[in-house]
């Protein structure tokens, strides 16, 4: 797929979900590296930097996107030869895609251990990593039920119920505002993440923080399932993860909204859940408490202090 097509598919949410976005970006960089046929290293490097900028500009919140770009392009900083640089990007992109898919499978195995036979699980949005845990628990023969939220305004919950139904998992489909009414029927909540800060807070689909609050009040376990490339290295030095705000027309059609000139429709599509409302984060490296986030950034993403101020790629 040409780079601009992938970028547009991510921007328009045809490709969505932090893991899928990361793999699509890695694939686009690989294809772009193959397409730039020049033997001139500077020309090749500048073309790749432009491609990375375009991909990075598509959606601002999912840290998986800049992390994937960083991982795929990391050898470009020290390369001097176009062929070596091209081969390095292709190799890194393919390795990233493979390891991302493997990470989701491993998270499923590890996360399923948190689910007991007979449990009822609440999930929000449409997260590959969260669903992997639920599906693996079902495959292990556990009798489980799920509450899945609708997820206004994009209705990602419909994608989730399609998957759950495919796996023959009994599911209750509820509007987002019904979470508190059902939280006492739920044994644990599992959601994914677009980004995890060094302070252990989690950015995920709008409404996640309300679920975490309701779960906290009800003493219901709140689990986040996330690959290590969802952790945000630059949050260690105070860089805030921006929360994407999409057009109000996704919430209220323009022809209705224009009747109310004093009304401004707001549409932030993610929110931040403080680590204190999260019991565990399931990663492919194991289960951690939110306060261990800096260890993931250092030991598994390999960010050293010196990387933090030379972080372009």
**Which residues are identified as catalytic?**
125, 194
Q: How far is the CB of 293 from ligand RUB (least distance, A)?
A: 16
By CB under 6 A, name the one of 123, 127, 201, 220 that touches ligand RUB. Answer: 127
- When the beta carbons of 49 and 60 are compared against ligand RUB, the nearer one is 60
Q: How far is the CB of 16 from ligand RUB (least distance, A)?
A: 4
Does 68 bind ligand RUB (CB under 6 A)? Our answer is no
Residue by residue, DSSP assigns 193-213 as: -SEE-TTS-EEEETTHHHHHH
Q: How far is the CB of 192 from ligand RUB (least distance, A)?
A: 3
Does 128 bind ligand RUB (CB under 6 A)? Our answer is yes
Does 194 bind ligand RUB (CB under 6 A)? Our answer is yes
**Distance between CA atoms of 46 and 63, rounded to whole angstroms?**
23
Q: How far is the CB of 294 from ligand RUB (least distance, A)?
A: 21
Strand extents, DSSP E, the chain: 120-123, 145-149, 171-174, 188-191, 195-196, 202-205, 221-225, 270-273, 280-283, 286-288
- When the beta carbons of 92 and 123 are compared against ligand RUB, the nearer one is 123
CA angle 208, 210, 211 (to 5 degrees): 65
Peptide bond into 153 cis (omega under 30): yes
- Residue found by looking up tokens 């050898």 in the block: 75
Q: If binding means CB under 6 A, how many residues of this protein chain bind ligand RUB? A: 17
**What stretches of 36-151 show up as alpha helix (H) in DSSP?**
41-56, 64-73, 82-112, 128-139
3-state helix, strand, coil in the chain (%, to 5): 50, 15, 35
| Site string (234-273) toward ligand RUB, x via CB under 6 A | -----------------------------------x----
Q: Which stretch binds ligand RUB (CB under 6 A): 27-35, 85-93, 122-130, 281-289?
A: 122-130
Contact 164, 134 (CB under 8 A): yes
By CB under 6 A, name the one of 3, 17, 27, 241 that touches ligand RUB. Answer: 17
**CA atoms within a 13 Å half-sphere pointing along the CA-CB vector of 67:** 31
209 CB-near residues (< 8 Å, 6+ apart): 271, 272, 273, 274, 277
- When the beta carbons of 144 and 195 are compared against ligand RUB, the nearer one is 195
- When the beta carbons of 10 and 144 are compared against ligand RUB, the nearer one is 10
Q: How far is the CB of 225 from ligand RUB (least distance, A)?
A: 7
Does 207 bind ligand RUB (CB under 6 A)? Our answer is no
Give contact residues for ligand RUB (rule: CB under 6 A): 16-19, 62, 125, 127-129, 154, 156, 192-194, 204-205, 269
């Amino acid at each position: 797929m040409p780079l601009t097509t992938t970028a547009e598919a991510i921007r328009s949410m045809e490709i969505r979900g932090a893991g899928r976005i990361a793999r699509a970006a890695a694939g686009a960089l690989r294809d772009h590296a193959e397409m730039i046929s020049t033997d001139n290293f500077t020309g090749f490097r500048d073309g790749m930097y432009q491609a990375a900028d375009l991909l990075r500009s598509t959606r601002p919140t999912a840290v998986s996107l800049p992390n994937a770009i960083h991982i795929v392009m990391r050898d470009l900083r020290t390369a001097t030869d176009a062929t070596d640089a091209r081969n390095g990007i292709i190799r890194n992109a393919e390795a990233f895609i493979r390891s991302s898919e493997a990470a989701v499978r491993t998270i499923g195995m590890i996360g399923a251990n948190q689910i007991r036979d007979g449990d009822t699980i609440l999930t929000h949005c449409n997260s590959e990593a969260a669903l992997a845990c639920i599906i693996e628990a079902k495959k292990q023969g556990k009798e489980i039920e799920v509450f899945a939220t609708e997820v206004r305004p994009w209705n990602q919950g419909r994608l989730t119920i399609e998957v759950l139904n495919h796996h023959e998992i009994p599911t209750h489909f509820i509007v987002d505002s019904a979470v508190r009414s059902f939280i006492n029927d739920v044994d644990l909540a599992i959601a994914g993440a677009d980004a995890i800060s060094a302070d252990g807070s989690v950015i995920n689909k709008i409404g996640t923080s309300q679920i975490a609050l309701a779960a906290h009040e009800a003493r219901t376990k709140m689990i986040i399932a996330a690959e290590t490339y969802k952790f945000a290295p630059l949050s260690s030095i105070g860089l805030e993860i921006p929360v994407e705000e999409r057009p109000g027309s996704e919430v209220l059609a323009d022809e209705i909204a224009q009747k109310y000139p004093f009304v401004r429709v707001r549409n932030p599509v993610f929110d931040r859940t403080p680590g204190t409302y999260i019991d565990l984060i399931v990663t492919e490296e194991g289960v951690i408490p939110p306060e261990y986030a800096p260890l993931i950034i250092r030991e598994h993403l390999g960010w050293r202090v010196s990387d933090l101020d030379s972080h372009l790629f």
